[in-house]
Amino acid sequence: MINDLVVQAAVELGLEDGQNLRADTTVVQTDIHHPTDNTLLWDVVRVVTRLIGRLATALSRRRIKGFRDRTRSARRRMQEIQRMTTRQRQEQQTATYRELIGIAEEVIESARAALRQTRKARGKDMITNLAIAETRKEIEHFCGLGDRVIDQSRRRVLNGEQVPTVEKHYSIFDLCVPKTLSGFIE
């Protein structure tokens, strides 16, 4: 029916004669998960850790001194929250969220320390230096998004605050979602 209405409108506007209609669509499976505070915190830990690894590789290092990989412990906390029953959530959720938020804060602070520590480090050529600079920008970007997710989680879960829809974050990969799709996501 929608296609018929679109064609009818195009005919009335003189944009189309309405004799032939072709519609192409493509469906692609994606790994998008339902946006919950615990999965957003997990995304922050996972992405920042991956970017720090990329920075170390670009600097020809095995790892960045002082940065500790916390992905396993963050994933465990996230999965623990995911598996809780409604009753368990009422009784145990706050403590597990505190741990997960603490891990995310630690990762973000460690990532910022790694950025300060490697501020003057250079690669072996100009291309590597560009890759290092871009990776550093991405790390800082995701640390900023991580701060926002941590604030949201703390407000919603630990403080019991009702966060307004326009302030909610649904993804660390595209924070435009709350403004454009807020009515569809809740």
- What pLDDT score does 114 carry? 95
φ, ψ dihedrals at 167, nearest 5° = -95, -10
**Which residue in this structure is represented by tokens 């949201």?**
152
List the structure tokens of 42.
């997990």
* R_g of the chain, CA atoms, integer Å: 22
- What pLDDT score does 186 carry? 37
Instruction: Give the DSSP per-residue string, 29-89.
Output: --------HHHHHHHHHHHHHHHHHHHHHHTT-SS-TT----HHHHHHHHHHHHH--HHHH
126-153 and 86-117 helices, crossing angle to 10°:
150
- What pLDDT score does 180 carry? 40
For residues 10 and 12, what is the distance between their CA atoms, to the nearest angstrom? 5
Contact 103, 77 (CB under 8 A): yes
Reported as a single tens digit per residue, the pLDDT across 18-63 is 777 666 677 776 666 677 889 999 999 999 999 999 999 999 999 9
pTM: 0.73
Q: Which residues of the chain have pLDDT under 70?
A: 21-24, 29-33, 174-186
Contact 150, 101 (CB under 8 A): yes
- What pLDDT score does 89 carry? 84
For residues 128 and 118, what is the distance between their CA atoms, to the nearest angstrom? 14
